[in-house]
Chain A
Amino acid sequence: MNIYIIIIITYILKFIYSLNVGLLPDEAYYWEWSRHLDFSYYDQGPGVALYIKLFTLIFGDTQLALRTASNVASLVTTIFVFKISDILEFSKIQKIYLFLFIIFIPAFFAGGFLVMHDSPFLLSWSGALYFTVKYLKDRKNFLLYPLFLFLGLGALSKHTMVFYVFSLVIWILLSPKEFSIFKNFHFYFGILITFFIISPVLYWNLNHNWDNIDAIANLRSAGSINVKKFNTGSMIIGQIFSISPLFYLLIIFIFIRYFFTEISRTSFIHYLKSILYIEDTKSIILKFLLINSIILPLFFLVMSIFRVIQANWLYASYLPIALLLIFHLNFKNYENKLFLEGLMIALILDLFSVFSIPISKTLNLSIDPYYILGTRNLGFQEIADEVSQIQKEKYPDSKIITNRYQDAAILSWYLPEKPFINSVNILQKNQYNYWYDMEYGKDYILVYIQEKTCAKSFIFFQPILVKTFEKIEQFPEKDIYVDGYLVKRMQIWYLKNYQKNWAEDISNLLQHQMVQEEMVVGLKKKKETRKFKRDKMDQFSGIGLIKGYLERSGEMECSFLLKK
């Protein structure tokens, strides 16, 4: 059977399954972007918003639309990779192995169900990769246009696309024979196309103080977890589980084997020289794929020394890695065995991602529900129903709000008629900072969802709410059980009469009180004694905050995996 038919059948099956995969909060966030189309957004360009909009225009704001979007992106990405394998003249067995790798590595298998900014980004990366390879083979100028088109589309989806450009630049610099491209006007028209496509992002940034740079610097995509410490270990573990441990080992092994074999044939200097002046088309393509495959892992490896790196930031490099791995794989020795064993582990990980709840139940695994992947998207509908009921019965004139973008987006998705839910965003920055302000004098119902059910919720914003509203009423924390598992924890506050923005007191504390009364003590303005101030502080935040924290369910720190 033709490999493309197998791919399409596989994706139809994945699509049918994915219709039952509930939305994750981050997916709902990007869906919310698609309801507020703009030139760009705080976190990234408008690529994912436009991409989702394409599908919601056809299928409405439904699960069908979003799951079609995610599966179509994965399918097209896979087809591009296989088109490259055609150019590299993969044998039938090589194509089967490539299929097994691309479909079953956990990163693509489980990740392919979801629609995130990675969906159009990976599609664009694979498209650019295909047209680069096709250009290298055919040397037809018109192929440069789709290449630059995909570069632009990729950059609209994720800033990481710039590394594709870097890989092209490095490849040209290491290929003196390719310098002739600088004399080709199609090359410059292509750059113009890319520039035209990304111009909305530039326009938005010009009007928003270059906030995209702020998002990158503060790692918004990593949940603003901007921990400045050595994170290389966690990055490698993330990659191992994204690819499957034995595949990871195999890739490193083949990489080392390839270099040693090449270098042992001649001297290192000769090897470097031979790289510069490659003549054979297939070798030129492989050289580009190699550069393209190592650019992201190398960059993020260095970055992980002092920053948090999320596993998915490297996923684009898996596309050229897959092609190189299968191209260099020796089917007659232990590498083949290692591949098949790696595949088995990948399948086990995939099975656990898809059937995590029945597997955990059957094996009676003593794992905290948070670590059972299938529970991650459960419980939101129940929370939305409860909030909706409270609003209807007790506070019909109030509006629902949250303090996390995830909670706002997922509630918008699950509440009847999918209303826009705002996020107060106390001490946070994301796209919600750019949307509507809260209305003074209005009453609100604030909802907080604790996804990590094993941990105590740390409600840092309650003391701030006390100062922001005339009156606040706290509802008891509530556990949400689905299928016998504690899947979420929720809390509600009724907030009466919104009086001032939360930032007013904090900014005053920093900008005035701290400078005048603490840092430059001699310039102290107020004449109150310290004791009076301390009492006021206790009332305002300290004791109440600690008491509230201790009374909450969950542990101080989540025990890793095993339930106590």
Chain B
Amino acid sequence: MAEGHSPLEQFLVKRIAEICIGGDDPNPGDGVFQCVGGLDASFTNASLFMLIAVALITIFLVFSMQGRSLIPTRWQSMAELSYEFIANMIRDNVGTEGKKYFPFIFSLFMFILFCNLIGMIPYTFTVTSHIIVTFALAFVVFIGVTIIGFVRHGTHYLRLFVPSGVPLPLLFLLVPIEVLSYLIRPVSLSVRLFANMTAGHTMLKVFGGFVVTLLGLLGGTAGLVGIGVVGSIAALAFTIALTGLEVGIALLQAYVFTILTCIYLNDAVHMHH
């Protein structure tokens, strides 16, 4: 594969505006940004697409709800649909106590959904394909759920790690496993979203690369031209089908992230399971 056309090139974070807090550039004017001893808080394409996602969500929700008619317009029913989807999810999984966490979970869902979907547009940047972004989201959920659990149940929350009705010798084995599976939650939650996005976009790029490679055969002999024509059309059809699959994955992963957040929240709010 030619230089500069790696399937992973699309995930490169580039600085748009260079901001350095507290540090300095040892050799300014050489065109290379350095931030020694300070915090590199540059405005990157990742920050740009996060802002675009937030702006789009705000525009979508504010403008679609402006009419507030009893019989919703198409846009209004889309906004109501997304609201009801999350409200039902919280009611089914957490119950009525979960209602006060609705704003957080709804924001989480919309942010992940819009970041995933914006990433499907060619030449854009997928924010959720970076582990640090998804890990930050998952870690906020993890810390929040743990605090809610301890605030609601005090030290009784530790009983979450002790399965009931298990003989004492087995507890020595089971409690560490339960603690480990609790601590691994933010990792699995973030890696699931990140790996799905990265794998999907890499796969699209690889199959797109097949089209270009096979078109390169068209300059060859008659047999090679036949392979090139058939192969590139097949690869293009496959890329289109994969794009459809990826849009589905984008929706599904936003759903999975949110429903797992609800399940973790239910553990913290109700405990008995």
**A and B pair up:** no
Chain B residues close to A by CB (< 8 Å)? none
Using a CB–CB cutoff of 8 Å, the interface residues on chain A facing chain B are none
